[in-house]
Amino acid sequence: MAMGTRDALVQAAEILMRSKGYAAFSYADLVETVGIKKASIHHHFPTKEDLGTAIVEAYIDKVRADFERIELVNEDLEGRLKAFFLAFSASSEGGLLPLCGALAAEMAALPLGLQRLTHRFFDIQLKWLTKIFDRGVANGEIPAISSNRQKAFQLLSALEGASFVNWALKEGESLDWNFIRLVAGLND
């Protein structure tokens, strides 16, 4: 099935946002990439904020579906964290920043609606990580600590930060699974 114009615009704009930043891409970039007239882009997305909102909302839906799949396929904390780690790592391949991080880097320049969505996106990830850490504690997989939310914050921060360092250096470095295990408190 051929991709529709709207989907092609969302996909192309997402790549531009993750490689150049929200403020640095324009509808002129999409004219080149997708090969349609600017008026056609405005037909689907009257404003750049409308386009940005569509991108983030679609990405949030994808991430939520990934979280559901991870929970269905992996019964234990280690399996769930490894699947999250691999999905996060894969999302940063090809010289792209994680969408959430790319948006956060430009928070002050984003329209208010996109600022709220970026906040919501981070919150969704942190709540899910906290939930799987809570389950890990309840199942005796990791020791109880004062704040699984803090552990989730540290893990997401490490992954996002490593993505930015890798993106800037363009050396293909990334955090390895052993570091994630350490942050998570998984024992050998």
Distance CA 62, CA 77 (A): 21
pTM for the complete prediction? 0.90
Predicted confidence at residue 73, as pLDDT, reads 97
CA distance 24 to 30: 12
Instruction: List, in sequence order, every beta strand (DSSP E) within the chain.
Output: none
Find the distance separating the first CA and the last CA of the chain, reported in whole Å: 46
Task: Tell me the average confidence (pLDDT) per consecutive run of 10 residues in the chain, 188 residues long.
Answer: 79 92 92 90 94 95 96 96 91 82 93 96 97 95 89 93 83 78 79
- CATH code of residue 139: 1.10.357.10
Q: How many domains does the chain have?
A: 1
Whether 84 and 70 have beta carbons less than 8 Å apart is answered as yes
What is the 8-class DSSP label of residue 108? Answer: G
pLDDT at 1: 39
Q: Which range marks the domain in which residue 154 is found?
A: 5-184
- The answer to whether the CB of 118 falls within 8 A of the CB of 147 is no
